[in-house]
């Protein structure tokens, strides 16, 4: 079966990111509620507490969970739930196949420079011929919309 694609632009990708953020938040809130025993001050604080278990929990939900959520969905479904709901796929730029583990890790790490320079790495998507952000260029990936 043959599929037709077009490069996914900036705004549709922003929409997919918003959906993924909502999904991750809905997944994290119940576990945070249980871990912090319903104490709103701890749940919505900066995470800077003197309690070592809280630090490990914060690292888990803020860094480890999003990393695995994103990487595994890229590897197995070709995109996170937000991207898939928007009919988007993250693919290898040259072959059109799903990303490899190495590409996925590079793409995820590429979010750091894309974010740190005033979000320019993401804004780049709006002006690039292949609609690639810096993280896409680093991983040699493209995000496409199924037609």
pLDDT digits (tens, 9 = 90+) for 103-132: 999 999 999 999 999 999 999 999 999 999
Q: Give the Cβ contact number of residue 83 at 10 Å.
A: 27
Stated pTM of the model: 0.86
Q: State mean pLDDT over 4-21.
A: 96
pLDDT band, very low/low/confident/very high, at 1 (cuts 50, 70, 90): very low
Q: State mean pLDDT over 94-109.
A: 97
CA 133/CA 56 separation, integer angstroms? 31
- Of 36-45, 68-77, 97-106, the poorest mean pLDDT is in 36-45
CA 54/CA 60 separation, integer angstroms? 10
CA 133/CA 141 separation, integer angstroms? 9
């Amino acid at each position: 079966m043959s599929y037709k694609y077009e490069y996914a632009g900036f705004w549709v990708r922003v929409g997919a990111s918003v959906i993924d953020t909502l999904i991750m938040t809905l997944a994290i809130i119940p576990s945070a509620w249980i871990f912090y025993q319903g104490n709103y001050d701890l749940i919505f604080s900066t995470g800077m507490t003197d309690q070592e278990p809280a630090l490990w929990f914060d690292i888990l939900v803020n860094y480890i969970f999003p990393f695995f959520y994103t990487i595994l969905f890229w590897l197995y479904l070709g995109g996170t739930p937000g991207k898939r709901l928007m009919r988007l796929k993250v693919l290898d730029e040259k072959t059109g196949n799903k990303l490899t583990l190495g590409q996925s890790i590079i793409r995820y790490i590429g979010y750091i420079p894309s974010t740190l320079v005033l979000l320019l790495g993401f804004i780049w998507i709006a002006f690039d011929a292949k609609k690639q952000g810096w993280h896409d260029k680093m991983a040699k990936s493209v995000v496409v919309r199924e037609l």
